[in-house]
Structure 1
Amino acid sequence: MLVTWGIVPIQAGIFSTETIRLSSEAVFAQSTSYIPATEQSDKIDSRYVYSAHGIIWLNESLPSFMTRDYALAPFRPLESAETISHENQTWTSLTTLYSLDLNCEVPGLTIEDILVWDTKNNTHSLGQGSKWVSSNGCEFPGDYYGNVGNETIGPNPAGDNLEAHAVKEFGSIWIGQYATEFADFYLETFCPRTANRTFMAFFTKHKTKDEDPPNEVTRLYCTPAYYEQKVNATVNARTRAPISYTAVGDRQDLSLDKWNSSYFERQMNSGQVNLFNRERALPLYTWPDQLETLSNYPISLANEGSVIQPMAGYAIGAYQGPMEGLLDPHVLAEAYQAAYRIVFARAMLEVLDQGYVTTSNNSGRYDYVVTAIVVVPVFTYIVEALLGLVSSQKTKPVRPKEFRLFAVLPFVLLNVTIAITLGVLLRQSQPFGIVRPSNSPIVRQIVENYVPTALATLVEPIWILINRLLCMLQPLDELRGGHAIASRSIDADYSSLPPQLVIFKALQASHFKLATVCAMALLANFLAVAFSGMFEERPILVPRKLQLSPPYQAKFVAINGTVTADMSLGVRRTSKASGAYRAGDGTNQFMVAESNYTSGNPLPAWTDNEFMYIPFMKDTGYNGSEAIQARTTAFGSTLDCSVIPDISYNAVLTLVPPHSLYANVNITMLDVTTSQNVTCTDSIQITRGPAPLLGIQPQCDDGKLSVEFVMKMDSLNNATQAERDFCQQTAFLAYARGENRMCVPIKNTTRLNDSNAVFIGCRPKFVAGEANVRVKANGQVEAVSGLDVSSSLSAEFYEQHFVNGSEAGGVSDLIAQAHGYLFKSFGGQFHNDSFAADMLNYFMVKQSNNSQLLNPAAPLPSLQEITEKLYPVYRKLFAIWLGINKDKLLLPHTESSKTVVEGQTNSIQTRIFLSRPLFIMAEIILGIYVIAAICVYLWRPGKFLPRMPTSIAAVITLFAASEAVEDMRGTASFTRRQRRQHLERLGATYGYGTFVGADGLPYEGIEKEPLVTAVPLPGVVEKIQMGFSQKSLLRGGD
């Protein structure tokens, strides 16, 4: 009993699984090569600053060997340990850390007599001037930005009262070191040469009323101190993301050979990059624009007429705290340090060699997590105690019981009950599992392992009991029928093996009932295995209903489609903000797409590759493991493009001496809505080739050349409103091929036609509908189902979803403004390679990983070759543009318009599941048990033995007085095989019944035929059959 129902089930709970961390020593190679400082201005492209922009503003995934505070020299195992497949493997080795500290101070103010110019008398006069002085000798004049802190929120007179330059709640200024043509102010002439890294930062809160006194201005002088340090660093082996480090050496000033600080700091002040690397970087010569992003913040985009500098924007982005906090000098210094560290660390990854050209070897280790089997102490102690009890007990003989209904019926009902219970539990576990009974490991082990195994082991001894009984009775039951041959009766040895293992002997003797019971006893082991592993715990998403409050209506604000990012600088300065446009050059959607394509960064919240979805919640407050799903409105756009034959366009390349080259293009295209031809026009400046360095005139390359145009064209001067709308919304693309003479025309003009160019016109189709959207708590789209969208939208739809939606005017303005962002012309550029000079073609190459469209040696592309790359890029960029500007484009809900949307969230919970394969195995075994138990009962042995043959004496009394003993005379020394052959030669048969012994007295036992009177006893089935037969005879007698 203790073994069967104590030790066996409890030992099933001894072992559990846990994760453990193992470690192995290894030799690592650290990359030691880098781009020397003298070559960095020629070899490092703008990719680093676009990536830094993505990290600061878009939460872009960090590159390998970089955190937001430092970069590490790359290292890897000398022998590839990454081939070892272990989860959460880490590498630890000696390497070099690169970072910087900002040493900031609040400047002092000095007053001194100076000569000032008297404009009234046109003479100099003596006056007083102030300077902001640093400890390292910088002296910035106090009258520069002298009105900072004294500006009033509202229109800015210093910015010509332009809306884009309006004074907001806070103002931020950054003044770099170097004088450049793009910098309004600089410190180069106000600091000694020994302080050539110092910059100045201002931050202030503006007045709310003109009569208020000036506010205090937080001013800082800061100097970056670049350093390197030997560290033992640990990185994730798969992503190479740094996890931690331990310093093993002192900080050292970064070698002048490794870091060209003046080159990078000059870029900070100019916002320009020297090298345009066409292979890797976006087709831009400038740092990412900050105005568009900062327009959502309470920060002035211009201060006294000077546009906010990139580093001031990055400090705000890296800080991401309340603006009020930046008035604290320490917080402001930390914000700039965070921004500088990100930009510097990202630039250092470009400086350091990632290809392991030269290396140094260091000892290290790799750690990895494995799932191990551990021993549960409580169960172990109980099993040890039970083993001790069992070992001290004395074995007692077991007396087999006769098969009776009161014993068989409960056993059958037990199997049926277990099978039904398992079925109910399986049904309850679908699809979200069964709630765990407790968080205690001991309780869970008892419920999930001990109890099921105990039930399984409860069944096994019953079958073993029946098995032993049949092994003992089967030969005698065979003899009771008489005429039994020796091999199936007196020579049938079922006691030399454990009862379960006599199955083959039983089959050989045609004792199928015994073989069946043997199989049942063996199946008990499989049942125990199935029960012990049937219940498993898995994490699963469990849904629950939610009531959600959408922050926005599914309705677009009134938009002026002419106010967009492709406006000229003069028009941009005087235009009023409308729709998505507030300020800037409109490149944010390209930065987001670049981050997504290059780093796999998620798309903006509520956006996927084709649609923007109306948010159905603000901040849910749920933890990051939960996702929320609801049905919402989807908006997007697609294109329908067609080839324009050369009879419908006039495109002429015109040379304007000495260097300017323009493409003057007029395109006539059918407007299907009015059935009228519309002519659109544009003049595109073309550069002769990629500029190697900023300010150096590009030259035409030799051989075959290609040039591409992306155009959002203007209408003619006398155009109608419908024609103006048509040109605003239509996108045109052109691909031209030619030789060097096209770039350097012999005449002043070169005409494009179908032989050297292909032009396509693309009309937008606004797409909208509904979808079931599942998002993370931060709004990132995880899955979309039940999407039902269409581009055939009714007038009622436009009225419902656009403020100025009558006659589809609202959607026309929305698309016109979007196209000003997406199809903003970057000009054309002749090139003899396959790299893009404009954003649209750049992302078409990214999307398809194919640059044949731009290959000068390839034939002109077909419409299909263009559109199969263009369509997905356009849909994605349009969705991104909607997503990042939804707060400006959508009407917010008011108290009167608030609605409630029913949604569903999925929380991750660990639930209990039934293993389906083990469940099926257990159900089949239990079903077989029920059938086998009933059959054994129906064909059970009869009651004919005077005593159970459980001892040698009881067995001997069965044949001691019979003649059958004579058949075994002289066989004592025989082997079993010899004895079996001996009995086969005799050919005698035997039976069990009454016979007259040698002493003339009657006996009951085993005797040879025909000396025995053997009368078979009817079993349960025979008795039932006989009962029916007798009733039939009685009815027949009647």
Structure 2
Amino acid sequence: MVIAPWDNLSQKNGGLSLVDDPEQLPAHAQFAYLYLPMIVAVIYGLILNWIDLDVKRIYPWLQMSKPTGAKAKDSLFLHYELNFALWLPIKAIRRGHWTIALSGFITLLATFVVTPLHSSFLGVDILLTRREVQMSTPSELIDPVAQAAVFDVTLLNAAYAITWLDQPFPAFTTPEYMLLPFYPSESAQDNVANWTGVTTKYWTEIRCWPAKVTHDNDTLHYDEGYHFDNGQNCSTTEVYIESRPGAENLFYTGWYADDEVDLNLECATCGPAAKNQFLAIWYHAGDTRVNSYTDTTKVEIMTSEFCEPSYYKQKVKATISADGLVPIDGHVEPLGPVETLPPTEFNSSAFEFLLGVGVSQNKMARDYPLNYLLDQTSRIGKWKFLRPLWSPLVGFALGRTNASSHEFSDPEFMRLAFQGVHQMLFSAALPRLLKNSTLPNNGPGEVFSIKFGVVVSRLFSALIELSLGIVTLLVMVLFWVCHRSPSMLSEDPVTLGHLLSVVQNSPLLLKVFRGKGGLTLPSSNFNVNKILIGYLPTIFSSVLVEPFWLALSRMLCLLQPFYDLLSNRGTAQRTINAPYAAIPAQFATFQALEARHFLLGMVCFGAALGSVLSVGLGALFDQRPMPVIYPLNMSRRAQLSSPEPIVSVTPAGGAWSDHFQVAMANLSFGTPLPPWTTRDLSFLPVSLSSPSQSFEKGVIYSARAVGFGVEPSCKSLGAFLTQNVPPMIDPSLADPNGNFTDCYRDYRFPAMWLKNVRGRRMEGKYTSEIVSSFAPYSFYPVCPQWLIVGWARSDLSSILINQTSSTYDYFGVVNSSFVACTPVATVADYDIRFDYQGRIVSTSAVQNATAHSQSQHAKMAASLQGLVHNQTASWEFNQNFWHNDSVSQDPFSTLLRLESGSDALFDPSAQTPDPERMIPSITSVYKLMNALTINTALMAMENATQEAIVGSRSTVEVRVFVSSPAFYASLFVLLLYLPVTVAFYIWGVKFAFPRLPHSVGSQLAYIASSSLANGASDARELFESMEGMTFRFGTLTGPDGKEDIGVDSSDRVTPIEPASVVQHLKRRKVWSKLRWKSKKTEQKEEKVLENFI
């Protein structure tokens, strides 16, 4: 009734009680999935156990109600109530008691199938829910004319970060295409996983065909000359190829000509019709020299192709992941035809100019890094090309394919490689061309959210429904069988009194049972009986606690009336008419307490607590993800060789190198830093001890590593106001030992002299920046290590003093400020956490770590830090010092603006930066540059020795936890069992019965000699005669004059002691041949009873 609606609701909504966080799950939902199913199962089991108890209790009477009667072993001597439930159906089937077998099988299904399944069909899980919403497309492409200014080296820097530094693609893009951004119109407050909507897809493809190659046989030239024809009236001028024996090279040649490129297609024989084409060339040189004048060898193998890109768009239905706004592969469905992207939407000329030349087509003042060709020399060294690469696209093709140079000899491979590069750049470029749309396009869509909730297991719910259906069907069959079975009972024989009323008119039957001793004990030995009926159930209770308490309570319910018969409290209500045998033990607690049967009440309460324990144990364990740490053998570099580190220098003459490129990508796009590097430190790599092992993805590792860093120790030199000249600053700074040194007297930075303008006339507001050291001006060893960062503003006016040389003299107030840093290299041990790629997750300095002050590591750190300083503070004489725009003039200043986030840093109209406020940004940039430079150098150094260390791996595993409410509930039950158990073992057994009253026959044997069974003429008279009487258990004289043990009124019974019963049994030697005599006794009694049962 409940499972099916829950299941349907769970299947419809994905779950029940959906929340955004597991901690937000309501208390009633936690109760519903942890405890409610087991409570329902326990109640259901109690009802079925009650039915099973009544079937077992009534079955002997139904057997005797058959027209042909039944044997004693199949009726009077049945005691299924005390049999172990697991074997009962088998035992009943072997005896042919199908009703008992059916009832027992129903109980087994309820106990071992239905109840465990109820603890499994509900659980908490992560769900993906769906709802329909309106999607908005708020962006559109900017005007194609404005796009030309956007296509600059910034795009190539982004591609560099994507190719070499694992920078993710922009939102709504993949390596192959871009989707026009679209978002849910309504604010998504929940954990959105992804959404689906209609948008526009943009992508590019290139078509290539072989070039017609003509070889120039001019043997007087040092290099080989070639002409390349595209077959469409475009032929290149002579291209000279330099080669050496075995050398290989790869070229990407665009159409547009520019001062930045040495090779292009634009010429008289290749007109604008081919301006959107490019030429790709790969060659391999042989050993034959071109001529006797040169060492250049002839090209042995060459692959050359002309390629033409095309740009497309298409209406699609796409799904976007909310994590990173990445399109999900396989979930982009076309909704319309493929259309060519027209020039009115996309400026392909400006785009292709940037790809072919390497700089923007739109010439304008830009920040320092954007004025130079992108340098990838340090990244492509392993390919060992003969000449530096002219086009950055060659580096991108090599980096993205990671293929050997020779693989580019395959024309199709070359086409796919450069198509991948074009698609990458196109995908990275289009997000920069978007603007807010004036008319947002809305349409239907779907949002999928991550929820946590209670989930109904379809498998287990189906199994529960199936098992409940089987149980219900079997119960109906059981009711039908019981209803069809003949019954001669006029009332329920629930007590000894009812048994008396049934058999009082059967004198022959009473005579058979009178004085025969009934079913004998298994042994007259006290210890043996304790082992058989006490110790073994206790051992079994460790496996099934509740069945043990149920069996114990059932036994005590049978014996409680006889215990009262041994005392002076043997009233009819407490003994002869006590209905304990017909009530499940769990429900007999209050009735026992009301009758002042406290021990019985405690034991029955223990049986009821077994149900609570089942609920508690069923909900005791819970599963949650948990970080787990395992020790792991690792190794780290102990010593380093120290070759001179190489830092690449661009062909343009600047010192813009790879580590600056990495820093700019990190500060601009959030690109991950290289392995073993943080913003402050660079670490010696750590590896696993076993060469066959490797770090696993998704696992976090921990180890102790040597970290190299720097402390810039920057301080403000103050702000200055001077007229026409730079300020004179105090260069007296403290060295690492605290000693002050005057690096230079009356020091003024040449970069800020107004007369040093290099023939330019300047009027109005100007700005100047300085990143320098005292290296050119002092011979003190410590002075070159200091870094000076400064800024100046001035409103200039000029006077022409030499018209021939266009020399001007300038006037103005110079407003300047400066920061001085005294960097000191550091090296220490750190506890680091890193991923499978070596990227640092967190670091912590080791207290009382091994000192490195005199180690080879310290010397290496000082050497590398000097390299960092020289690279950072070497820009002064490469600048145009005063400028009236807001662009940076050196790499350090470029990074400083990115770090501080201030566009006013170089703004001539803005105030001079506050040096105190700039110190954190300067410190951060200098530390970053230091870490990246050292990382580049360390990666190039050879490993000398390895040092074994013990690290650890931390991963998230699903662990089992104990539910506190369930644990305390279970513990409470077990603690309550202790006093009940103690009380039972102290006061539980007061008398050694010659036979247990566990069957109709054994109970009948105790009342057969009673005057009550031979006096009253009917049941009514019998029960009326019991009012006000007391009864006892002991020796009595039966109607035949023989002494017997049984139940009768107090005045007719002589109390007996347990010892006398034992001696009586010994005299009869019942105990010596227990099993065989009991079987013979049964056979003898069966023969006697055959004629009237």
The TM-score normalised by the length of structure 2 is 0.65
- Residue from 444, 449, 461 that aligns with 2:547: 461
Counterpart CA distance in 2 for 1:531 and 1:100 is 62
Q: Is the 8 A contact 1:46 1:276 kept in 2?
A: no
Correspondence 1:412-431 to 2 at 5 A: 412-414=538-540
- Residue from 534, 541, 544 that aligns with 1:408: 534
Letter in 2 for 1:96: T
> Which residue of structure 2 aligns with residue 246 of structure 1?
333
- Residue from 614, 633, 647 that aligns with 2:706: 633
> Which residue of structure 2 aligns with residue 426 of structure 1?
none
Aligned residues: 867
Q: Is the 8 A contact 2:710 2:865 kept in 1?
A: no
Q: Structure 1 residue 767: deviation in Å?
A: 1.5
Identity %: 18
Counterpart CA distance in 1 for 2:419 and 2:430 is 16
Counterpart CA distance in 2 for 1:558 and 1:310 is 29
- Residue from 987, 991, 1009 that aligns with 1:939: 987
- Report Cα offsets for 1:764-816 as digits up to 9, x if no partner: 1211122344433322234545635889853x32x45547x9xx6x3563443
- Report Cα offsets for 1:157-186 as digits up to 9, x if no partner: xxxxxxxxxxxx543333222233433333
Counterparts in 2 of 1:940 and 1:178: CA distance versus 1, 3 Å = same
Counterparts in 2 of 1:993 and 1:519: CA distance versus 1, 3 Å = closer
Letter in 1 for 2:656: D
Counterparts in 2 of 1:400 and 1:112: CA distance versus 1, 3 Å = farther
- Residue from 111, 131, 139 that aligns with 2:235: 139
State yes or no: 1:901 paired with 2:988. Answer: no
State yes or no: 1:330 paired with 2:442. Answer: no
Counterparts in 2 of 1:845 and 1:813: CA distance versus 1, 3 Å = closer
Letter in 2 for 1:468: R
- Residue from 579, 585, 595 that aligns with 2:656: 585
Deviating more after overlay: 475-484 vs 614-623 = 475-484
Q: Is the 8 A contact 1:654 1:663 kept in 2?
A: no
Correspondence 1:497-646 to 2 at 5 A: 498-504=584-590, 512-532=598-618, 534=621, 543=630, 545-546=632-633, 548=635, 554-555=639-640, 557-559=642-644, 585-586=656-657, 588-597=658-667, 599-617=669-687, 620-626=693-699, 629-645=702-718
Secondary structure (helix, strand or coil) at the match of 2:140 reads coil
- Report Cα offsets for 1:116-135 as digits up to 9, x if no partner: 9x99xxxxxxxx99631113
Q: Is the 8 A contact 2:165 2:673 kept in 1?
A: no
- Residue from 244, 247, 260 that aligns with 2:347: 260
Q: Structure 1 residue 108: deviation in Å?
A: 0.8
State yes or no: 1:183 paired with 2:269. Answer: no
Q: Is the 8 A contact 1:30 1:356 kept in 2?
A: no
Counterparts in 2 of 1:466 and 1:382: CA distance versus 1, 3 Å = same
Correspondence 1:357-368 to 2 at 5 A: 358-362=440-444, 366=448
Q: Structure 1 residue 636: deviation in Å?
A: 1.4
Q: Is the 8 A contact 2:148 2:362 kept in 1?
A: yes
Counterpart CA distance in 1 for 2:912 and 2:1008 is 108
- Residue from 289, 300, 303 that aligns with 2:374: 289
- Report Cα offsets for 1:812-835 as digits up to 9, x if no partner: 6344345359999977788999x9
Q: Structure 1 residue 369: deviation in Å?
A: 9.3
Counterpart CA distance in 2 for 1:485 and 1:698 is 124
Q: Is the 8 A contact 1:666 1:681 kept in 2?
A: no
Counterpart CA distance in 2 for 1:637 and 1:823 is 23
> Which residue of structure 1 aligns with residue 781 of structure 2?
722
Secondary structure (helix, strand or coil) at the match of 1:184 reads coil
Q: Is the 8 A contact 1:90 1:236 kept in 2?
A: yes
Counterpart CA distance in 2 for 1:1006 and 1:538 is 65
Counterpart CA distance in 2 for 1:465 and 1:507 is 19
Letter in 1 for 2:680: E
Counterparts in 2 of 1:489 and 1:822: CA distance versus 1, 3 Å = farther
State yes or no: 1:318 paired with 2:400. Answer: yes
Q: Is the 8 A contact 1:667 1:681 kept in 2?
A: no
Q: Is the 8 A contact 2:194 2:321 kept in 1?
A: yes
Secondary structure (helix, strand or coil) at the match of 1:617 reads strand
Q: Is the 8 A contact 1:991 1:1009 kept in 2?
A: yes
- Report Cα offsets for 1:933-961 as digits up to 9, x if no partner: 34322221423878738779979999996
Secondary structure (helix, strand or coil) at the match of 1:557 reads coil
Q: Is the 8 A contact 2:286 2:297 kept in 1?
A: yes
Counterpart CA distance in 2 for 1:511 and 1:315 is 91
Counterpart CA distance in 1 for 2:430 and 2:361 is 17
Counterpart CA distance in 1 for 2:243 and 2:166 is 35
- Residue from 96, 99, 111 that aligns with 1:8: 111
Letter in 2 for 1:513: L
Q: Is the 8 A contact 2:622 2:963 kept in 1?
A: no
The TM-score normalised by the length of structure 1 is 0.68
Counterparts in 2 of 1:852 and 1:322: CA distance versus 1, 3 Å = same
Counterparts in 2 of 1:640 and 1:598: CA distance versus 1, 3 Å = same
- Report Cα offsets for 1:170-228 as digits up to 9, x if no partner: 43333222233433333333533332211223333456883743343433222111111
> Which residue of structure 2 aligns with residue 577 of structure 1?
none
Secondary structure (helix, strand or coil) at the match of 1:609 reads coil
Secondary structure (helix, strand or coil) at the match of 1:871 reads helix
Secondary structure (helix, strand or coil) at the match of 1:246 reads strand
Q: Is the 8 A contact 1:606 1:614 kept in 2?
A: yes
> Which residue of structure 2 aligns with residue 759 of structure 1?
818
> Which residue of structure 2 aligns with residue 350 of structure 1?
432
Letter in 2 for 1:887: M
Secondary structure (helix, strand or coil) at the match of 2:550 reads helix
Task: Note the residue ranges of structure 2 that are not aligned, 5 or more in a row.
Answer: 1-85, 87-104, 290-294, 486-492, 495-518, 523-528, 755-759, 800-808, 1060-1093
Q: Is the 8 A contact 2:546 2:611 kept in 1?
A: yes
Counterparts in 2 of 1:882 and 1:800: CA distance versus 1, 3 Å = closer
Q: Structure 1 residue 310: deviation in Å?
A: 2.1
Secondary structure (helix, strand or coil) at the match of 1:182 reads coil
> Which residue of structure 1 aligns with residue 914 of structure 2?
861
Q: Structure 1 residue 700: deviation in Å?
A: 5.7
Counterpart CA distance in 1 for 2:1044 and 2:878 is 118
Letter in 2 for 1:106: P
Q: Is the 8 A contact 2:251 2:391 kept in 1?
A: yes
Counterpart CA distance in 1 for 2:858 and 2:530 is 80
Counterparts in 2 of 1:476 and 1:336: CA distance versus 1, 3 Å = same
Counterpart CA distance in 1 for 2:880 and 2:938 is 29
- Report Cα offsets for 1:581-600 as digits up to 9, x if no partner: xxx612x3344344445554
Counterpart CA distance in 1 for 2:882 and 2:540 is 85
Counterpart CA distance in 2 for 1:829 and 1:360 is 51
Counterpart CA distance in 2 for 1:869 and 1:379 is 65
> Which residue of structure 1 aligns with residue 167 of structure 2?
60
Q: Is the 8 A contact 1:172 1:299 kept in 2?
A: no
> Which residue of structure 2 aligns with residue 373 of structure 1?
457
Correspondence 1:631-670 to 2 at 5 A: 631-645=704-718, 667-670=731-734
Letter in 2 for 1:948: P
Counterpart CA distance in 1 for 2:849 and 2:893 is 27
Q: Structure 1 residue 382: deviation in Å?
A: 10
- Residue from 779, 782, 787 that aligns with 1:731: 787
Counterparts in 2 of 1:664 and 1:193: CA distance versus 1, 3 Å = farther
Correspondence 1:730-879 to 2 at 5 A: 730-734=786-790, 742=795, 748-750=810-812, 752=814, 757-784=816-843, 787=846, 794=853, 796-797=854-855, 799=856, 802=859, 810=863, 813-817=866-870, 819-820=872-873, 861=914, 863=916, 865-879=917-931
Counterparts in 2 of 1:625 and 1:928: CA distance versus 1, 3 Å = same
Q: Is the 8 A contact 1:733 1:760 kept in 2?
A: yes
State yes or no: 1:194 paired with 2:273. Answer: yes
Q: Is the 8 A contact 2:682 2:709 kept in 1?
A: yes
Letter in 1 for 2:948: V
Counterparts in 2 of 1:789 and 1:262: CA distance versus 1, 3 Å = farther
Letter in 1 for 2:547: P
Q: Is the 8 A contact 2:369 2:656 kept in 1?
A: no
Counterpart CA distance in 2 for 1:822 and 1:915 is 64
Counterpart CA distance in 2 for 1:273 and 1:211 is 35
The root-mean-square deviation of aligned C-alpha atoms, in Å, is: 5.7
Letter in 1 for 2:276: R
Secondary structure (helix, strand or coil) at the match of 2:946 reads coil
Letter in 2 for 1:585: W
